[in-house]
C-alpha cells in the first residue's frame, strides 16, 4: 500500500448556544473515540494547548473539555501569509452512566489530549461459566 498523503482538516467552529462575552473563537478539536473492554478512550487534537490551559470536567453526565491557546505568543508578530485560524478548543460529550467518573485520567502530548474513562465495575462484561 502506498503511503497516504496527509490532508489539511478545516477547523470547525463551535456552534454557540449562548452569545459569547469573550472575543475569542473556539473550534471543535478533531476527536477519536474508541472503546475497549475496560475503558472508553477519547483522543482530541488541540495544537497550541498545554496541560496548564486545559479544563476537563464532568457535570450531569456530560464531559466538558476546554483547551485554551495562549495568544501572547503572537505578540509583536505581524502576519504576512496565513492559512489557518487560531482559537480555543471546546467540545462536550454525553457519557453513559457506565463510566467510573472518579477514575478519569488525562494525558497531553504534542498537542493531543488523551482521556481514558474507565468503565464502572458493573458495566464490564463478565464471563459466565456454564456449569
Residues that bind other proteins (CB under 8 A): 3-9, 23-25, 30-37, 40-41, 43, 45-50, 71, 74, 76-87, 108, 110-112
Q: Cβ closer to other proteins: 82 or 102?
A: 82
Judged by DSSP in three states, 73 sits in helix
Q: Cβ closer to other proteins: 54 or 58?
A: 54
Judged by DSSP in three states, 63 sits in strand
Smallest separation, CB 82 to other proteins (Å):
4
Q: Give ∠ CA 93-97-100 in degrees, rounded to 5.
A: 95
Grid cell listed for 124: 464490564
Smallest separation, CB 114 to other proteins (Å):
10
Smallest separation, CB 13 to other proteins (Å):
12
Cβ proximity of 3 and 18 under 8 Å: no
Grid cell listed for 74: 503572537
Amino acid at each position: 500500500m502506498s503511503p497516504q498523503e496527509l490532508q489539511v482538516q478545516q477547523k470547525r467552529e463551535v456552534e454557540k448556544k449562548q452569545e459569547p462575552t469573550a472575543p475569542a473563537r473556539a473550534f471543535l478539536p478533531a476527536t477519536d473515540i474508541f472503546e475497549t473492554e475496560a475503558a472508553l478512550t477519547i483522543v482530541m487534537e488541540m495544537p497550541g494547548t498545554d496541560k496548564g490551559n486545559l479544563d476537563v470536567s464532568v457535570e450531569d453526565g456530560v464531559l466538558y473539555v476546554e483547551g485554551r491557546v495562549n495568544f501572547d505568543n503572537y505578540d509583536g508578530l505581524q502576519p504576512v501569509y496565513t492559512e489557518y485560524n487560531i482559537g480555543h478548543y471546546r467540545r462536550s460529550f454525553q457519557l453513559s452512566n457506565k463510566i467510573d467518573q472518579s477514575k478519569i485520567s488525562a494525558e497531553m502530548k504534542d498537542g493531543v489530549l488523551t482521556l481514558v474513562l474507565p468503565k464502572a465495575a458493573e458495566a464490564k462484561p463478565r464471563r459466565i461459566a456454564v456449569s
